[in-house]
Structure 1
């Protein structure tokens, strides 16, 4: 088997001769924090993005990432140290060392250990070098983003509720790479920037630190050497779709409605985001709105206000009702018609507030004028403005 090849178990012979501690510039007894600190320093200094065209630094970066992938993981590091402790028995690789001295003794074949996949060395080397149970950490499910849109409704539809069609364009996983960011057919590896965590720790000054999405993998934990040709490695694209949205009865002008699960799709099995619809309600020709109540201006004549009357008025979407106006009703008085208003959140309805407006005719015919003049003569003994003058002098009326 050629140097650097695999024996079929996932173990690479050339790794037996590599000193990962030396590659990272630390001693065998270095703490996990010291190893991480050295790795980050070397990774930044040799990262391909910072050193375009520098082949030597590119190779150094790969070697540093390879070393940290092993000794940066507590379990892998322990197994790596155990493997190195075997000494000369491991120096011939897995290809055919059998006997000849060393620590193993005559007739020893390391491949016999690797064939035992039920535990011991077989699992140790398989887990360490990728041929056994260990797999790259699966990307975490991510909730989809929220989407904002607006809708214009008629006054009647807003009161009664309506189902509308909404055309939405939102951020979504790229259709080509399905959100991975990699070229289809290529395999990912753990992001060296965040070490597969999906985030990095940023200092905010003093003792304060916050987790930020990893700039190297965008939070996906894995990276590809070849980016997706459609999204250029971002993993994101635009999604256009039409949905049917139910607007509840009684919605107000300017209200923001939340429709759960109607936003952008999630990633890696994550739930979708929500859709927020800002509603604009067009005015009605007759009816207005005040909270959960509807309003209506009702014109009445002078004689109806003075003598009393029964006035028929409309309701929104229902049968007309009769308003009883008592004699002597002043201009601007408001009457309440219960249960004829907007629908409330509890399913009940507000009221209809009908305000009367006494109308003064612009012209009078001869008969009407004579009647008004007769009324003036009959009430002239009781001037309406007598109290204005007594009040202006400060005297009690």
Structure 2
């Protein structure tokens, strides 16, 4: 049976770029993989055919030969840039083609973890740590210097973080040659796994340090001084670079992230830069007006003028008495909200005075008058 045109197999035009050929190959192997086509007996053959086509078209020399001579370029000893004529029956180099795509997909990731192969791998970076710190609203207002104790891994002093006794340098892993990964042939494709000898490090320690047992780090509590800036709020994150967990075998340390939680205050409620304070006032003060003293977050006092006839829920503003800005902007304000208080535990004389006042009161309660006027209109409409 005559072989199909390789460009037709991959579904690309003859002038397709290397990137277009690679993308087409990825789509094909994904769609035709035998594990996804168990009911299609032709899938495996088509899968191999795609691999054969890609092995030729991804190689510049082979592609040029194929474009000029077609399939005859790899028959009768013409070769395709490799000894022995290249394809060897259609399957011999498929695993190599699949491996190339695997490298394209995962090579960067593996490089980030290991820094490349050949014994020059970068030691593993330590993990980042999180510390939850609770502070009061007063501390968030003024800022503070806080000492915290953090349990973490630190570099081993006995081996200077190398993991080897006496500070000797680790050696390249003989199993993976420093790559941190090994490849195994399974049928017509290659599987890549973490090296079992070095656990992906690319290096081994022949004589492990007795203190850290080859890890290059030990567990130890550290006391750190943290600067908490004024204006922080719940959710603010402070980063201390290099104060996280020490890296394995001399690798760089991670970072420490401090997450701030500002506790609730008994007097003030925060809304961004502004503070709210609910202040109770007597019925007589709300009716007649007057001055009251209110606390401020800095520990001071503020005087507020209560207009006569004030109702519950009325708000007044003290400019610049809120929270300081953390990232630009101006200082917030303090909002005073009045809560008119109904007197309790009245004496007989007080009750008598209130009844006398009630009898004399005319047009003194506009909100009540409007409400009951609306109620009367509602009932009249229902009767109609």
Q: Does the TM-score normalized on the shorter chain lie above 0.5? A: yes
Find the counterpart in structure 1 of residue 333 from structure 2.
351
Query: Are 1:153 and 2:135 matched, yes or no?
Result: yes
Contact 1:183 1:228 in 2 (8 A): yes
Superposed, which structure 2 residues align to 1:118-129 within 5 Å?
none
Counterpart Cα distance in 1 of 2:155 and 2:171: 20
User: C-alpha displacement at 1:290, in angstroms?
Assistant: 2.0
Q: Secondary structure at the match of 1:276?
A: strand
Superposed CA offset, 1:29-56 (max 9, x none): 899xx9xx9xxxxxxxxxxxxxxxxxxx
Deviates more, 1:213-222 or 1:341-350: 213-222
Which whole-Å CA distance do the structure 2 matches of 1:215 and 1:337 have between them? 68
Aligned Cα root-mean-square deviation (Å)? 3.9
Normalization by structure 2: what TM-score? 0.58
- Counterpart in the other structure of 1:297: 278
Q: Which runs of 5+ in 2 are unaligned?
A: 1-82, 87-91, 96-117
Q: TM-score, normalised by structure 1?
A: 0.56
Q: Secondary structure at the match of 2:300?
A: strand
Shift of 1:318: 4.5
1:171 aligns with 2:153: yes
1:275 maps to 256
Counterpart position of 1:230: 211
The alpha-carbon distance between structure 1 residues 272 and 232, as it changes in their structure 2 partners (threshold 3 A), is: closer
Q: Within 5 A, what are the aligned runs for 1:106-145?
A: 137=119, 140=122, 142-145=124-127
Name the CA distance, whole Å, in 2 between partners of 1:369 and 1:198. 89
Q: Partners of 2:331 and 2:308 in 1: how far apart?
A: 30
Structure 1: 4+ residue segments shifted above 6 A: 206-210
Q: Residue 216 of structure 1 corresponds to which residue in structure 2?
A: 197
Report if aligned partners of 2:234, 2:261 keep a CA contact under 8 Å in 1.
yes
1:53 corresponds in structure 2 to none
Change (3 A) 1:178 1:198: farther
- Aligned with residue 335 of structure 1, among 308, 316, 323: 316
Q: Which structure carries more helix by proportion? A: 2
User: Do the aligned residues in 2 keep the contact of 1:139 with 1:268 (CA within 8 Å)?
Assistant: no
Task: Report the count of equivalent residues.
Answer: 265
- Deviation string, structure 1 residues 189-243 (Cα, Å, up to 9, x no partner): 311233123456799xx99999x87553355432133333333333332132111
Query: Match of 1:389?
Result: 376
Using the alignment, how far apart are the partners of 1:321 and 1:142 within structure 2? Answer: 57
Task: Work out whether 1:244 is the aligned partner of 2:220.
Answer: no
